[in-house]
Chains A and B, each alone.
Chain A
Amino acid sequence: MAAIELREVSRQFGATRAVDCVNLSIDDGEFFILVGPSGCGKSTLLNMIVGLETLSSGEILVDGERVDELDPRDRDMAMVFQSYAIYPHMSVRENLAFPLRLARLPAADIDERVLRAARMLELEALLERRPAALSGGQRQRVAMGRALVREPRVFLLDEPLSNLDARLRVQMRAQIARLQRRLGTTTVYVTHDQTEAMTLGQRIAVMRRGKLVQTGTPQQLYARPADLFVAGFIGSPAMNFLPSRLAGERLELPVGSLALPERLRGAAAGAAGPLVAGFRPEDLRLAASGETTGLCFDARADIVEWLGADLFVYFDVALDGFGPLELPADLDIQTGDATRRSLVARIDPDAGVKAGDRFRLCLDPQRLHLFAGGRAIGDPAGLQR
């Protein structure tokens, strides 16, 4: 059992800062997720925790003791690699036993622990097989088994599911969550997949360009993103963004204007830089006939995605009179150009909206996120969710 603390941890590679002054504390027994686009430094950070990468500055503590100077073998952590890194010249049994052999456990103990781990991961029938004779999912389980057979203080997982197909990934996701809850071992899990992050993590840290952008529960990140990047990165489909500007106590958007809620008023007036309005697809709803509360506007369905329980309607909005919208490039949100933006609304599938249909949508001002200079502004506590 272990609590991990990172203090101003940095890693420099030549001129680039792969990890830039990260402060983080992970509680004992917590399932903690590091998420971010590729190249954001999350894997480097994980490698520094386990000791495969040295720190340029800062310190790492486990249960209050510094470990960043220790050899990986003295840190009592186990890691699952993205490529699984199973030893190909050993059978599954030998793979699982390898860490125990190195620890010089008695043979009887080794056998017993290997069997227990194999049973937990349903690998018993495969113990004598070579890795070459295993499927991708089985290899993944062997890698997991080799990590948990040691009963380490900390589990570190580096994108463990990214090489599996979609169906298997969902299965393994559930299995990993179950295992972690059962063992109660502190776990740090690195992924670039926000769905994985949202479903698995008790807490999530979003990283970008080596920096920690925001840390919180999945609900906090979803409901109160600290900046444009987190707002666009967390959630699928991504949050809608529109350029906007202040006109007295009202906020003007390309689709109309709305009265600014109390919590945004002061901050919006004092904000520097262009304002960006953000709202999630589910914050738009079909207008009841004659409804005028909030901001209501007409739209024409461009593409309709029906997923059974949900209906996602994509529609275009012209940006007449508003400057082009600048979003963080690494978000990979490419919807529209300088004059138009494509937005998406999640509406009731029973409404029967089809591609090409005209329909009327309303936005509740209480659900609006406002960003200035990339940062979220206003008092987040007032946001309704």
Chain B
Amino acid sequence: MTSARGRRERLLWGAGSVLVVCYALVPVAWLLSLSLKRGADLGDHRFLPAVVSLEHYRAVFQDPQFAAALWNSVGIAGLSTLAALLPGLLAAYAIVRLEFPGRRLLLAATLAIAMFPPVSIVGPLFDLWRSLGLYDTWPGLILPYMTFTLPLAIWTLSAFLRDIPWELEKAARVDGATPMQALLRIILPLAAPGVFSAAILVFLFAWNDFLFAISLTSTDNARTVPAAIAFFTGSSRFEQPTGSIAAASVVVTLPVVLVVLLFQRRIVAGLTAGAVKG
């Protein structure tokens, strides 16, 4: 009886897992398949490409616009991550460690900012950036990305910092460390999983953003991949750029997947094991 029940349970679990995985992965597989089809086969109603061809990838990489956009994306997302994490870490540290008036208010306000709909500030920002000369520049995108991801970074980091025993820092201070040394040599290594997860979240936000990218850029100067993809044209005016878009999408998805897979171990690893008793 137990084995029959066990088998049925396993079956249900298996079926459920397959369902979820399909739901998540079929669109991705479809995208991949589209990017590998020949231009003429795009409308052939087949799931797998009849002939695997790399012509869209070739076309995408030959396009100077895309190369520029890729560079913009990497640079802007990377710098936004740094720009959000540094103040985020210090702010989270202060919120967790220091008793100061308005601490709760600050956390609440941070959350409120995260809930602010970006679309409502994009218009004014457009005007502001144009008169400040930030329109279509890297800082013009990094600033809003940093602003909108900072709350996320602060919340994630403060959750991780809160779990680090405070006595470790006290011990470091008694051992002769300055507050900065204690933060850099004791707290930061222990908070590494938190820093990595916050970094991934911020990076993804900047990497995937379409709204700011499309509104605040106009040339290859600062246009990121999601915005650039929207400006793709087919090789002739009668051809939809579906294949190129699919290929470009695969190219921008890949690094994200890689980053997450790479850092996952660090996130999962429990670094604080053995700090205090038990």
Contacts and interface: CB of A to CB of B under 8 A. Distances in A.
Given A81-B167, A102-B181, A132 B174 contact: no
Contacts of A84: 276-277
B171 to A, nearest CB: 4
Contact of A85 (B168, B177, B178, B189): B168
Contact of B175 (A99, A131, A163): A99
B18 interface: no
Contacts of A77: 174
Contact of B170 (A81, A102, A136, A163): A81
Interface in A67-102: 71-73, 77-79, 81-89, 98-99, 102
Given A81-B170, A87-B186, A98 B276 contact: no
Contacts of B167: 81-83, 85
Contacts of B176: 72-73, 99, 102-103, 150
A52 interface: yes
B190 A79 contact: no
A284 B125 CA distance: 88
A134 interface: yes
Contacts of B52: none
B273 interface: yes
Interface residues of B, number: 25
Interface residues of A, number: 32
A87 B177 contact: no
Interface in B236-278: 271-278
A307 interface: no
A139 interface: yes
A87 B174 CA distance: 13
B38 interface: no
A83 B277 contact: yes
Contacts of B272: 88
Nearest to A158: B167
B165 interface: yes
A130 B168 CA distance: 15
A85 B173 contact: no
A72 B274 contact: no
B177 A102 contact: yes
A79 B275 contact: no
B174 A88 contact: no
B271 A89 contact: yes
A369 interface: no
A78 B177 CA distance: 12
Query: Considering the complex of A and B, which 3 residue pairs feature the smallest CB-CB distances, nearest first?
Result: A132-B274, A131-B274, A83-B276
13 contacts: A81-B171, A83-B165, A83-B275, A84-B276, A87-B168, A87-B275, A88-B190, A88-B273, A89-B189, A98-B172, A102-B176, A146-B171, A163-B278
